[in-house]
């Protein structure tokens, strides 16, 4: 271990007198004294309290509505029909009606504080989600069962899906599946239509933006179609592949309205492919189009009917399906957890601070040996 | 264990599966014959590897280490797709790093080849350069005795001389006992030319002996083989922790595997439609089994490989700090301190027992003839002994020896009355110095006229002969039959008739000489107790005065010898000489017969006086011992010296309170032997000092038997001095304490006789800068002065211990916080071994994001230097292992578990329903992972900030740098800022401060 220096002479092996080697580097030694620690505690407590209150007010302002349509209304027969994922050939439609008690996102401001914090909120945007319960998108082997290389449109991977996709990589005839894997195979394929029933008896379809619901990077970086041009259509690009087992239509025909929304860059597919972290989750279905009609201010209160193309089976895994209508603030959707967490933390810190102060006042000032 | 194994040197040769070797046959120059027995050979490979075999052999050896093998198994598990929950690179990147670092270290070591210093096999002496096939050896490595020993070849073989042709024709066959551990006995026979010759230990040169005063010798190798390491049980504390964590890991794996089995049965089976891995999931138990291994892979980051690398780096760093410390550099000998092992630095902060050699460690091993008592009159300065040590100045002027052209200029004496006496030619004074000049085993070397150098086996003898030289009795030359002195300038040649050797039992040495006048004289010097028993009764009065003087000398810490002479009758001597010749050719019990003969003639001697030699203490020894005692370190002195000397050193080192021990000791030591024997132990001699205020135990070497009572008694005492201990007993004492007290022991010594002790203790310290290197080579740390021990323990040891403990606490905290998130997630993802973080984060967390700040803390953190030295009491927590014990470990892992819990469930609660402000859902796996990862990195960075006491620029750079690197990599990997970082990090930090302050 010894450091042998080349020089000779009487003191040739003397260690250098550098601050580093002699462990005398200049340093700042903070010492935690009651004078510094206690104020920190009180300040932290206060900060958390204020944050908590602010978030709580914000959350109070937002609200969301859930419509479970698994077997509600006329959907019961569809529910029974779809006992197995594989029985997807026969179409099944059903409707569920629900009531929106308050206009989204208008609320009456009772307090100045609320009004103040609401002023900086985006006005009027209403989001429609589909929610699934007890669907484990977070199983390891399920999550792995996808081929990102195929999804960015690499030609080689398109025809030769990754082995991670097995057994959803090739169909019974040995044709490669695009998109391969269990994730894509189990894509949510109900289509939802919401009708507004004003008191005058008319029916107005709630207009939804069904595009632009995916993350920018997903839409533009992570998911690409195989190269096409004017003469070489998307369908041709996907030639030689087959659709996933449970799908009714191939990937290049997912959106029959907008042909640019087909293939791997289909918004619904992208949203689905972003796997949820928990077994109960919701995924964005559409955003309210406030261009016209009664919807310019948001979603008016009143009665609505939800009509569903019921395809996605949930019975096998005892799951539920629901439509979630929500408004969003700067801080996200309706979520009481975070403000409460802040308030609890604030309380805990305060209690600790008070206890420490008591200890300090009673013991600390007398004993000089606090360093120990 | 510690017993040097003669011969085969390999205990495995006595493994039960193999038939015991009952006797050994060796035929000279007959390779074919010898190979039939497959005895161990002594081929010495200087290097374990060569360039081509280095990589495979080194890798093989590395994988034999438990930890490395463990990680290799993990790696193999990861290659099984059904189990693999992480990509292979998460393990292989750090593993390759570890292997590479270790391999480089090993390669570096291979390059430094140890030198050969002594015999490498047990030899039967055939012939030598000296007459009669004599051969002088030193056996310090074997038994610590530094005096020369003589070995003599059989006459038949010594005639072979150095004639290689004759030697090559030598075809004797040796039949002897198999390899054993008896160093002092050997039985065998040599068959050659139809004659049988008996062989004994006198004809053997044992492995480890060093040839002295002999140019060459030829021998027949009887036993050879690889040497048995004096293996010390230096265990690794971290290894124990490792096993605990390993158990914890298995428990978590089992819990999750059971969870998986149940989940698969209750829930997962409904999911087949979407997964369709029927071949596996159909059997929930099998799935659980696979899950177990998957979780082992994921959760293994609680003991990441980077821990090993980091610990190695830290230890290396601490060792370098020791090497670099100027305050442990001894400029006079240009010797810096050296940490020779890197693994023990933190144990330096936990030492409870120090076992110190005396000579050369506490003392300088410079003997100075200080005082003497001649015929009832003392000479030498009367100043208090302790005064010399502290002031190192003599009050009285030095004696002028200029009358003597052959004097040694370095010699100092401070009482001119002795010179007066010499000049007055007082016969007894002359006789006194004549004795000193004649009775010894020193070899003189006269390079130039008048420039005498004495080759002394023991420095005591050197001091005495040098004293005689300066007082005008110059020992000039020696032949086997004569000794020539220059007595006051006159050359006088004495005929040397017999040398009655010194040994440990006799404790005296005598010579019989015929002076030029034809008178026969026996001169004897030895331990006072021994000599006083053999004096002429007429000497009684002188004996009492001398004995008083001796006690005075001893009380001042001087080493004393009594001197006596005797005039011999021609007839008596002739008869005795015949008996001696007869006895020296005896085949059995020669030793005893000789001893009896010596005893016979060494009777009724006339007392001349006594000498007192000062054994100079090293600098700062008393202060260091005082300071270490304050630090509650028990210091035991183990010395081969006799009781009185050992006690003296006790006084002079402040180890025993002077006033208190002096009184009772005198009475007790004269009669104490028998009394104490019956009182405490029935079989052994024990001397015990029981003084109410302070206890000092002084034990004889023989009583050091595995008695646990001894340990109990000894540990009650503040000071323990073991005298008359052999090197093996030194090791036994250390072993005894190690076994009974479970305390960290440190042994410090300088000579070959301390090697066994140094190797037995947890920490071995060698005093370097001396001539011998054996102790240094065997040691873990070496420096030039005993007083550096204070800095090594109280500063380096304490710091290393604090640093390592803080490091480990933080490391386990960090990795539990990091890893257990997966455990919590298991309950939500169907126990499917899905990781929370993305794989690159798992790979980089321990080696990039969080490794450097904790390394910086482990290297640079300091606990106040001034306090360390001013209040040695601060060393106590280390001895009690208060900073990293099971409880502490539990606390920091618990903190880690809580942190992981908060880190997981607060984002979980927040994400349950969370959406982004543009409406897109963010409860997806990736956003969740990134949030937790970011929170984790911030939280552990805050924690390291709180743990760091001493913020150097490096700490700042590493902590802020790590955070910066994390965010840089994060944004590089998720280029558009796919999420807004949730403000939910703040609560965790707050809670952490809570937890931290709370645990203060």
Q: Is residue B332 part of a domain?
A: no
Per-residue pLDDT at B297: 86
Q: Is residue B201 part of a domain?
A: yes
Q: Which of B381-385, B421-425, B508-512 has the highest mean pLDDT?
A: B508-512
CA distance A233 to chain B (A): 30
CA distance B393 to chain A (A): 26
Per-residue pLDDT at B843: 82
Q: CB B910 to CB A216 under 8 A?
A: no
Into how many domains does chain B fold?
A: 5
pLDDT surpasses 70 at B979: no
> Do B477 and B438 reside in the same domain of the chain?
yes
Q: CB B978 to CB A215 under 8 A?
A: yes
**Catalytic position from the list B122, B143, B325, B357:** B357
Instruction: Kindly indicate the confidence band of residue B23, based on its pLDDT and cuts at 50, 70 and 90.
Output: low
Give the helix/strand (H/E) hosting B522.
strand B520-526
CA distance B510 to chain A (A): 44
B334 closest CB neighbour out of A12, A21, A25 = A12
Q: Is residue B70 part of a domain?
A: yes
> Do B602 and B632 reside in the same domain of the chain?
no
Q: Is residue B291 part of a domain?
A: no
A11 closest CB neighbour out of B334, B342, B925 = B334
Span B120-147, average pLDDT: 69
Which residues of chain B neighbour A29 with C-beta distances below 8 Å? 862, 949-951
Q: What is the spatial distance between Cα B791 and Cα B783, in angstroms, rounded to a whole number?
A: 11
Least confident of A180-184, B60-64, B953-957: B60-64
> Do B122 and B188 reside in the same domain of the chain?
yes
Whether residue B461 is annotated as binding a ligand: the answer is yes
Predicted TM-score (pTM) of the model is 0.77
Whether residue B873 is annotated as binding a ligand: the answer is no
The segments of chain A whose pLDDT lies below 50 read 1-7, 108-113, 117-118, 120-122, 368-372
Q: Is residue B518 part of a domain?
A: yes
Per-residue pLDDT at B661: 38
Q: What is the spatial distance between Cα B955 and Cα B951, in angstroms, rounded to a whole number?
A: 6
Which residues of chain A neighbour B986 with C-beta distances below 8 Å? 47-48, 51, 342
Q: Kindly report, residue by residue over B532-556, the tens digit of the pLDDT.
A: 888 888 888 888 888 888 888 877 7
Q: Kindly report, residue by residue over B790-844, the tens digit of the pLDDT.
A: 999 999 999 998 998 889 889 989 999 999 999 999 988 888 888 888 888 888 8
pLDDT surpasses 60 at B682: no
Q: Is residue B244 part of a domain?
A: no
3-state secondary structure of B645: helix
Q: State the DSSP code for B398.
A: P
Span B452-467, average pLDDT: 80
Which residues of chain B neighbour A15 with C-beta distances below 8 Å? 323-326, 329, 336
> Do B694 and B626 reside in the same domain of the chain?
yes
DSSP letters spanning B315-363? HHHHHHHHHH-GGG-BTTTTB--EE--STTGGGGGSEEEEEEESTTTTE
Instruction: Kindly indicate the confidence band of residue B872, based on its pLDDT and cuts at 50, 70 and 90.
Output: confident
Q: CB A335 to CB B910 under 8 A?
A: yes
The more confident residue out of B332 and B55 is B332
> Do B40 and B97 reside in the same domain of the chain?
no
Instruction: Kindly indicate the confidence band of residue B645, based on its pLDDT and cuts at 50, 70 and 90.
Output: low
pLDDT surpasses 90 at B450: no
A316 closest CB neighbour out of B273, B336, B829 = B273
Q: Is residue B274 part of a domain?
A: no
Which residues of chain B neighbour A134 with C-beta distances below 8 Å? 267
Query: In terms of Cα–Cα distance, which of A149, A163, A177 is closest to A250?
Result: A177
pLDDT surpasses 80 at B893: yes
Span B508-513, average pLDDT: 89
State which residues form the domain around B142.
2-46+116-231
Closest-approach residue (CA) in chain A for B877: A372
> Do B533 and B633 reside in the same domain of the chain?
no
Per-residue pLDDT at B321: 92
Give Cβ neighbours of residue B451 (< 8 Å, ≥ 6 apart). Answer: none
Give the best residue of A5, A23, A339 to mutate against chain B (max B CB count within 10 A): A23
Our answer to whether residue B143 is catalytic in this structure is no
Span B787-792, average pLDDT: 91
A338 closest CB neighbour out of B835, B921, B984 = B984
Which residues of chain B neighbour A169 with C-beta distances below 8 Å? none
pLDDT surpasses 90 at B957: yes
> Do B641 and B764 reside in the same domain of the chain?
yes
Instruction: Kindly indicate the confidence band of residue B416, based on its pLDDT and cuts at 50, 70 and 90.
Output: confident
Helix segments in B722-863, DSSP class H: 727-741, 755-760, 774-778, 788-790, 798-826, 839-844, 851-860
Instruction: Kindly indicate the confidence band of residue B990, based on its pLDDT and cuts at 50, 70 and 90.
Output: very low
Q: Whats the size of chain B, residue-wise?
A: 1000
Least confident of B303-307, B311-315, B517-521: B303-307
> Do B81 and B143 reside in the same domain of the chain?
no
Which residues of chain A neighbour B928 with C-beta distances below 8 Å? 277
pLDDT surpasses 90 at B960: yes
Per-residue pLDDT at B856: 92
Angstrom distances, CA of residue A317 to CA of A88, A167, B229, B264, B266: 16, 20, 66, 12, 10
Q: CB A278 to CB B986 under 8 A?
A: no
**Cβ A34 vs Cβ A356: under 8 Å:** yes
A2 closest CB neighbour out of B323, B929, B975 = B323
Per-residue pLDDT at B704: 56
Q: CB A277 to CB B342 under 8 A?
A: no
The more confident residue out of B648 and B117 is B648
In chain B, the percentage of residues whose pLDDT exceeds 70 is 73
Q: What is the spatial distance between Cα B390 and Cα B392, in angstroms, rounded to a whole number?
A: 6
pLDDT surpasses 60 at B562: yes
End of a domain among B748, B764, B786?
B786
User: φ, ψ for residue B248 (rounded to 5)?
Assistant: -60, -40
Q: Kindly report, residue by residue over A216-251, the tens digit of the pLDDT.
A: 777 877 788 888 888 888 888 888 888 888 888 888
Instruction: Kindly indicate the confidence band of residue B705, based on its pLDDT and cuts at 50, 70 and 90.
Output: low
Query: In terms of Cα–Cα distance, which of A349, A369, A346, A321 is closest to A82?
Result: A321
Span B382-402, average pLDDT: 51
Query: In terms of Cα–Cα distance, which of B962, B915, B736, B928 is closest to B829?
Result: B928
Per-residue pLDDT at B823: 92
For B508, left (φ over 0), alpha (ψ -120 to 50), or beta?
beta
Which residues of chain A neighbour B323 with C-beta distances below 8 Å? 1-3, 15
Span B329-346, average pLDDT: 85
Per-residue pLDDT at B684: 36
Per-residue pLDDT at B709: 66
Span B712-734, average pLDDT: 75
> Do B36 and B66 reside in the same domain of the chain?
no
The more confident residue out of B971 and A93 is A93
Q: What is the spatial distance between Cα B408 and Cα B466, in angstroms, rounded to a whole number?
A: 7
Closest-approach residue (CA) in chain B for A8: B334
pLDDT surpasses 80 at B687: no
Per-residue pLDDT at B380: 78
**Cβ B129 vs Cβ B214: under 8 Å:** yes
Give the best residue of A15, A37, A134, A355 to mutate against chain B (max B CB count within 10 A): A15
Per-residue pLDDT at B824: 92
DSSP letters spanning A285-323? EEEE--SSGGGTTSB-SEEEEEEEE-----GGGT-EEEE
Q: Is residue B260 part of a domain?
A: no
Q: What is the CATH number of the domain that holds B603?
A: 3.40.1110.10
pLDDT surpasses 60 at B14: no
> Do B476 and B582 reside in the same domain of the chain?
yes
Query: In terms of Cα–Cα distance, which of B430, B436, B638 is closest to B523?
Result: B436
What sign does the CA torsion over A341, A346, A349, A355 have? negative
Span B198-227, average pLDDT: 71
Instruction: Kindly indicate the confidence band of residue B405, based on its pLDDT and cuts at 50, 70 and 90.
Output: confident
pLDDT surpasses 90 at B962: yes
Q: CB A214 to CB B920 under 8 A?
A: yes
Span B87-91, average pLDDT: 71
A213 closest CB neighbour out of B319, B829, B920 = B920
pLDDT surpasses 90 at B956: yes
End of a domain among B94, B111, B128?
B111
CA B53 to chain CA centroid, nearest Å? 33
Which residues of chain B neighbour A11 with C-beta distances below 8 Å? 331, 334
Q: CB A337 to CB B271 under 8 A?
A: no
Q: CB A139 to CB B275 under 8 A?
A: yes
End of a domain among B614, B638, B665?
B614
Instruction: Kindly indicate the confidence band of residue B504, based on its pLDDT and cuts at 50, 70 and 90.
Output: low
> Do B194 and B224 reside in the same domain of the chain?
yes
Chains A–B, number of C-beta pairs less than 8 Å apart: 252
Closest-approach residue (CA) in chain B for A22: B325
pLDDT surpasses 60 at B993: no
Q: What is the CATH number of the domain that holds B771?
A: 3.40.50.1000
Per-residue pLDDT at B251: 92
CA distance B916 to chain A (A): 5
> Do B40 and B121 reside in the same domain of the chain?
yes
């Amino acid at each position: 271990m010894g450091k042998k220096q080349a020089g000779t002479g009487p003191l040739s092996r003397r260690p250098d007198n550098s601050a580093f080697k002699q462990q005398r580097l200049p340093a700042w030694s903070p010492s935690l004294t009651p004078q510094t620690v206690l104020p920190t505690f009180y300040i932290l407590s206060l900060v958390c309290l204020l944050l908590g209150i602010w978030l709580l007010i914000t959350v109070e302002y937002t609200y969301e509505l859930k419509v479970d349509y698994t077997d509600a209304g006329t959907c019961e027969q569809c529910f029974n029909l779809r006992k197995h994922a594989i029985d997807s050939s026969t179409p099944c439609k059903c409707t569920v009606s629900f009531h929106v008690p308050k206009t989204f996102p208008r609320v009456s401001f009772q307090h100045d504080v609320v009004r103040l914090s609401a002023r900086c909120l985006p006005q009027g945007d209403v989001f429609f989600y589909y929610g699934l319960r007890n669907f484990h998108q977070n199983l390891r082997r399920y999550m792995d069962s996808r081929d990102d290389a195929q999804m960015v449109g690499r030609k080689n991977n398109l025809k030769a899906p990754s082995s991670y996709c097995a057994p959803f990589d090739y169909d019974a005839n040995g044709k490669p599946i695009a998109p391969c894997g269990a994730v894509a195979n189990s894509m949510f394929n109900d289509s939802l239509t919401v009708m507004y029933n004003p008191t005058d008896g008319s029916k107005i379809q709630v207009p939804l933006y069904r595009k632009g619901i995916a993350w920018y990077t997903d839409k533009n970086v992570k998911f690409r179609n195989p190269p096409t041009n004017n003469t070489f259509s998307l369908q041709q690009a996907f030639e030689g592949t087959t659709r996933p087992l449970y799908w009714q239509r191939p990937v290049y025909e997912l959106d029959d309205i907008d042909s640019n929304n087909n293939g791997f860059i289909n918004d619904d597919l992208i949203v689905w492919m972003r796997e949820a972290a928990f077994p109960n989750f919701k995924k964005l279905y559409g955003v309210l189009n406030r261009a016209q009609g009664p919807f310019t201010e948001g979603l008016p209160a009143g009665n609505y009917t939800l009509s569903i193309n019921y395809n996605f089976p949930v019975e096998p895994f005892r799951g539920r399906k629901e439509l979630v209508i929500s408004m969003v603030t700067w801080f996200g959707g309706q979520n009481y957890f975070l403000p409460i967490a802040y308030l609890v933390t604030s309380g805990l810190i305060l209690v600790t601070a008070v206890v420490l102060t008591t200890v300090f006042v009673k013991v600390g000032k007398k004993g000089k040996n606090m360093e120990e | 264990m510690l017993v040097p194994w003669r011969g085969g040197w390999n205990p495995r040769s006595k493994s039960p599966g193999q038939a015991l070797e009952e006797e050994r046959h060796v035929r000279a120059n007959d390779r074919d014959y010898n190979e039939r027995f497959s005895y161990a050979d002594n081929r010495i490979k200087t290097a374990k590897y060569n360039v081509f075999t280095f990589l495979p052999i080194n890798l093989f050896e590395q994988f034999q280490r438990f930890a490395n093998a463990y990680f290799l198994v993990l790696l193999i598990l990861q290659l099984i797709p059904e189990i693999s929950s992480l990509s292979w690179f998460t393990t292989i990147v750090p593993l390759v790093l570890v292997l590479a670092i270790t391999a480089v270290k090993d390669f570096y070591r291979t390059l430094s080849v140890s030198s050969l210093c002594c015999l490498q096999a047990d030899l039967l002496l055939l012939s030598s350069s000296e007459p009669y096939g004599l051969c002088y050896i030193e056996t310090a490595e074997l038994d610590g005795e530094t005096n020369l020993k003589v070995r003599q070849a059989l006459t038949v073989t010594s005639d072979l001389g150095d004639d290689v042709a004759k030697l090559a024709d030598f075809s004797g066959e040796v039949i002897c006992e198999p390899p054993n551990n008896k160093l002092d006995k050997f039985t065998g026979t040599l068959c050659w030319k139809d004659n049988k010759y008996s062989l004994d230990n006198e004809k053997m040169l044992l492995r480890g002996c060093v040839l002295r005063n002999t140019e060459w010798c030829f021998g027949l190798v009887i036993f050879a083989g690889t040497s048995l390491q004096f293996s010390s049980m230096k265990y690794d504390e971290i290894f124990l922790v490792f096993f605990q964590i390993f158990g914890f890991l298995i428990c978590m794996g089992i819990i999750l595997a059971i969870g998986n089995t149940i989940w698969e049965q209750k829930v997962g089976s409904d999911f087949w439609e979407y997964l369709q891995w029927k071949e596996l999931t159909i059997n929930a138990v099998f799935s659980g089994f696979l899950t177990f291994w998957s979780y082992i892979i994921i959760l293994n980051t609680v003991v990441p490989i980077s821990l090993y690398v980091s610990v190695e780096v830290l230890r290396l760093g601490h060792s370098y700090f020791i090497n670099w410390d100027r305050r442990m550099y001894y400029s006079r000998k240009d010797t810096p301190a050296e940490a020779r092992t890197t693994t023990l630095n933190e144990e330096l902060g936990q030492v409870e027992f120090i076992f110190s050699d005396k000579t050369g460690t506490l003392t300088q091993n410079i003997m100075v003839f200080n005082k003497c008592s001649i015929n009832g009159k003392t000479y030498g300065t009367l100043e208090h002994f302790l005064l010399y040590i502290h002031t190192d100045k003599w009050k009285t002027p030095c004696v002028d020896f200029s009358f003597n052209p052959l004097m040694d200029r370095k010699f100092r004496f401070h009482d001119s009355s002795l010179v007066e006496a010499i000049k007055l030619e007082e016969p007894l004074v002359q006789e006194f110095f004549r004795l000193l000049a004649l009775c010894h085993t020193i070899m003189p070397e006269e390079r130039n006229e008048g420039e005498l150098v004495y080759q002394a086996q023991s420095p005591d003898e050197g001091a005495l002969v040098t004293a005689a030289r300066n007082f005008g009795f110059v020992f000039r030359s020696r032949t086997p039959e004569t000794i020539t002195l220059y007595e006051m300038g006159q050359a006088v040649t004495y005929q040397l008739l017999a040398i009655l050797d010194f040994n440990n039992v006799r404790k005296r040495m005598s010579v019989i000489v015929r002076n030029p006048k034809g008178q026969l004289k026996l001169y004897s010097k030895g331990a006072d107790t021994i000599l006083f028993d053999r004096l002429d009764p007429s000497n009684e009065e002188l004996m009492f005065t001398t004995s008083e003087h001796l006690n005075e000398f001893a009380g001042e810490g001087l080493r004393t010898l009594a001197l006596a002479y005797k005039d011999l009758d021609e007839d008596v001597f002739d008869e005795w000489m015949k008996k001696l010749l007869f006895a020296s050719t005896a085949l059995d019990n020669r030793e005893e017969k000789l001893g009896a003969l010596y005893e016979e003639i060494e009777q009724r001697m006339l007392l001349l006086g006594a000498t007192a030699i000062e054994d100079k203490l090293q600098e700062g020894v008393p202060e260091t011992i005082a300071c270490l005692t304050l630090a509650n370190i028990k210091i035991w002195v183990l010395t081969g010296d006799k009781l009185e000397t050992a006690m003296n050193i006790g006084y002079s080192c402040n180890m025993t309170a002077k006033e208190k021990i002096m009184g009772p000791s005198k009475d007790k030591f004269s009669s104490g032997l028998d009394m104490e024997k019956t009182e405490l132990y029935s079989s052994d001699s024990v001397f015990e000092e029981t003084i109410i205020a302070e206890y000092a135990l002084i034990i004889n070497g023989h009583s050091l038997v595995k008695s646990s009572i001894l340990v109990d008694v000894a540990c009650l005492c503040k000071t323990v001095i073991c005298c008359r201990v052999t090197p093996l007993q030194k090791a036994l004492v250390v072993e005894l304490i190690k076994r009974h007290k479970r305390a960290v022991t440190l042994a410090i010594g300088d000579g070959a006789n301390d090697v066994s002790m140094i190797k037995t203790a947890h920490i071995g310290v060698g005093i370097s800068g001396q001539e011998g290197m054996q102790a240094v080579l065997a040691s873990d740390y070496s420096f030039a002065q005993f007083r550096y021990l204070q800095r090594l323990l109280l500063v380096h040891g304490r710091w290393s211990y604090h640093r390592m403990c803080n490091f480990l606490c933080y490391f386990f905290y960090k990795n539990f916080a990091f890893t257990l998130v997966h455990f919590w997630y298991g309950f939500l993802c169907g126990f499917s071994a899905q990781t929370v973080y993305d794989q690159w984060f798992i790979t980089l967390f321990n080696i990039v994001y969080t490794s450097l700040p904790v390394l910086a803390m482990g290297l640079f953190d300091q606990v106040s230097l001034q306090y360390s030295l001013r209040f040695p009491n601060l060393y106590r927590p280390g001895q009690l292992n208060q900073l990293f014990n099971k409880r502490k470990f539990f606390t920091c892992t618990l903190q880690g578990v809580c942190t992981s819990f908060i880190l997981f469930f607060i984002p979980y609660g927040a994400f349950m329903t969370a959406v982004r402000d543009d409406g897109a859902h963010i409860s997806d796996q990736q956003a969740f992972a990134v949030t937790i990862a970011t929170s984790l990195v911030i939280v552990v960075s805050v924690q390291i900030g709180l743990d760091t006491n001493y913020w150097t620029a490096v700490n700042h750079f590493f902590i802020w740098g790590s955070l910066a690197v994390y965010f840089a990599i994060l944004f590089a990997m998720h280029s558009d800022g796919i999420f807004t970082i949730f403000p939910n990090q703040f609560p965790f930090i707050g809670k952490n401060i809570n937890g931290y302050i709370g645990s203060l």
